[in-house]
Amino acid sequence: MSTNLDKSGRELLEIIMGLSREIRCCSRDEAICQDVTFHQFMILDAVAKKGELGLAELHGILSVEKSTTTRLVNPLIQKGLLKRDRATHDSRAARLTLTEEGRETHRRVWLCLAGFFQNMTRHIPEAHRKAVLESVSVFTEAMRKAAVACRCCE
């Protein structure tokens, strides 16, 4: 392996380790706002965007196993934030919709996150914001593609 590749690999590792440390709030099973975890908010947001969402669609959105999706959805149903019904096209499939309380919780968590995002944005120099966001998006997509192709991430 060449020295450049070692240095480049080390730089990427340091970046990924730093990102992992800083975004840990998004991967814990702790509430971020309104007694909702980040993954639960992702569910509320996905359902809010579509109006209703099939449980099977949610597996792909969250990139998790079916059992994990169920583990994340059930507390939202128990809290009265989501409603699960049988899908009209297949009685074995479930569809999710937001309850009135779920819509209100979604709105409140968005307000909470908006404040966090605004605060975060203030720490990126205005002249670099667009480039930073585009670069992070490109980097994330490259990570996703590399993880799909890499057996070491299994």
Over residues 11-33, the pLDDT tens digits come to 888 888 888 888 877 776 777 88
* 85: amino acid identity, one letter: D
More confident residue, 93 or 50: 50
Task: Tokens for 40, please give them.
Answer: 């639960």
**pLDDT the model gives residue 59:** 85
Domains of the chain by residue range: 3-123, 124-154
**pLDDT the model gives residue 41:** 92
Whether 90 and 97 have beta carbons less than 8 Å apart is answered as no
Q: Which of 12, 111, 94 is nearest to 55 (CA)?
A: 94
Rounded-to-integer distance, Cα 152 and Cα 146, Å? 10
The model's confidence at residue 130, banded by pLDDT at 50, 70 and 90, is: very high
Task: Calculate mean pLDDT across residues 88-95.
Answer: 74
**pLDDT the model gives residue 151:** 62
Rounded-to-integer distance, Cα 123 and Cα 47, Å? 31
pTM over 0.85: no
Helices 55-62 and 38-50 cross at an angle (nearest 10°) of 130
Q: Does domain 3-123 have CATH number 1.10.10.10?
A: yes
Helices 38-50 and 100-122 cross at an angle (nearest 10°) of 110
Over residues 137-149, the pLDDT tens digits come to 999 899 888 877 8
Rounded-to-integer distance, Cα 79 and Cα 101, Å? 9
How does the average pLDDT of the chain come out, rounded? 86
Task: Calculate mean pLDDT across residues 69-75.
Answer: 90
Rounded-to-integer distance, Cα 136 and Cα 85, Å? 38
